[in-house]
Structure 1
Amino acid sequence: MTNILSNEISDYLDSLYHEKYKILPLQEEASTRKYFLIETRDAKEVLCVDQKLNRDFIEITKFLRANQVRTPEVIRTNEELNLTFISWEGKNDLSNLSLDQYKKRLPEALNLILKLQTLEPPQIVAERRFDLEKLMFEINLTVEKFHAIKTIYGLETEITDEAKYFLEETAGYLDKHPVNVFTHRDFHCRNILLNEENGLTLIDFQDARMGIPQYDLVSLIYDAYYPLTKEYRSELIDYFRKRTIGSDKKFRESLYLQALQRSFKALGTYFRMVADEKKMKFKPSVLSCLQQLEEIVQIGMFADSIYVFIRSLRNELAKHPEFRSIPNFL
Structure 2
Amino acid sequence: MSSESTDSFASELQKFITINGEYPKVTPMQKEASVRRYFHLQYKDCTKVMCLDASFLALPYDFIEVQKFYKENSITVPEILDSDNSIHCILLSDEGKNDLSSIEDDNVYLQRLKEAIDIICTLQKLKPIDLIKKKTFDYKKLATEGYHTINAYAKFQEAYKLEVAVTVELFYLFEEITTSLGSYENKIICHRDFHSRNLMLNPQQTLTVIDFQDTMMGTPAYDLASLLYDAYRPISPSAREELYSYYLDNSPVELVNFREIYLRQALQRSFKALGTYLKLFHQQKMEKYRKSIINALENLLEITQLGCFADQCYVFFYQLNKSLLEDIEFLEPED
TM-score of the aligned structures, taking structure 1 as reference length? 0.93
- The C-alpha deviation readout for 1:230-252, integer Å capped at 9, x for no partner, is 11101011110122244531010
Q: Which residue number in structure 2 is paired with residue 199 of structure 1?
A: 206
Q: Residues 324 and 102 (structure 1 numbering): CA distance in 2 closer, same or farther, change over 3 Å?
A: farther
Q: Tell me how far apart the structure 2 counterparts of residues 301 and 247 of structure 1 sit (CA, whole Å).
A: 24
Match of 1:138 in 2: 145
Aligned amino acid, residue 89 of structure 2 = L
CA contact (8 A) 2:36 2:51 kept: yes
1:51 to 50, 54, 65: 54
CA distance in structure 1 between the partners assigned to 2:295 and 2:275 by the alignment = 13
Q: State the match for 1:11 in structure 2.
A: 11
SS in 2 for 1:210: strand
Amino acid in structure 1 at the alignment position of 2:236: T
In 2, Cα distance between the equivalents of 1:245 and 1:305?
36
Aligned partner of 1:3 in structure 2 is: none
CA deviations 1:77-123 (Å, max 9, x no partner) are 22122111111111111011122321221111100100000011111
Is 2:319 the counterpart of 1:306?
no
- Give 1:156 shift: 0.5
Q: Is the 8 A contact 1:129 1:209 kept in 2?
A: yes
1:209 pairs, out of 213, 216, 221, with 216
CA contact (8 A) 2:278 2:293 kept: yes
Q: How much has 1:321 moved relative to structure 2? A: 4.5
For 1:132 and 1:250, the matched residues in 2 are separated by 20
- Distance in 1, matches of 2:112 and 2:328, equals 33
User: Which SS does the other structure have where 1:242 is aligned?
Assistant: helix
**Contact conserved, 2:79 with 2:93, CA < 8 A, in 1?**
yes
1:293 aligns to what SS in structure 2? helix
Measure, in 2, the Cα distance between the counterparts of 1:7 and 1:94.
38
Say which SS state the counterpart of residue 97 (structure 2) adopts.
Answer: coil
TM superposition shift of 1:209:
0.5
Alignment partner for residue 299 of structure 2, among 292, 300, 311? 292
Question: Match of 1:38?
Answer: 41
Percent identity for Structure 1 against Structure 2: 39
- Rate the CA distance shift 1:316–1:174 in 2: closer, same or farther, 3 A: same
* Of 68, 71, 77, the match for 2:74: 68
Match of 2:227 among 202, 220, 223: 220
2:3 maps to none
- Give the Å deviation of 1:9: 4.7
Matches within 5 A, 1:1-330: 7-16=7-16, 17=18, 18-53=21-56, 55-99=61-105, 100-321=107-328, 323=330
Greater shift after overlay, 55-64 or 18-27?
Answer: 18-27
> Bigger shift: 48-57 or 26-35?
48-57
Return the letter of the residue paired with 2:34.
S
Could you tell me which amino acid in structure 1 is paired with residue 250 of structure 2? R
SS in 1 for 2:62: helix
TM-score (norm 2): 0.92
Whole-angstrom distance in 2 between the partners of 1:7 and 1:170: 50
Is the 1:187–1:219 contact (alpha carbons within 8 Å) kept by the matching residues of 2? yes
Distance 1:182 1:68 in 2: 15
- Judge which range, 84-93 or 14-23, deviates more: 14-23
Are the aligned partners of 1:73 and 1:86 in contact in 2 as well (CA < 8 Å)?
yes
Q: Which deviates further from its counterpart, 85-94 or 9-18?
A: 9-18
* CA distance, structure 2, for counterparts of residue 246 and residue 169 of structure 1: 25
Number of matched pairs: 320
Distance change >3 Å, CA 321–CA 102, structure 1 → 2:
farther
- For residues 281 and 123 of structure 1, do their structure 2 counterparts lie closer, same or farther at Cα, with a shift above 3 Å needed? same
* Gap regions ≥5 residues in structure 2: 1-5
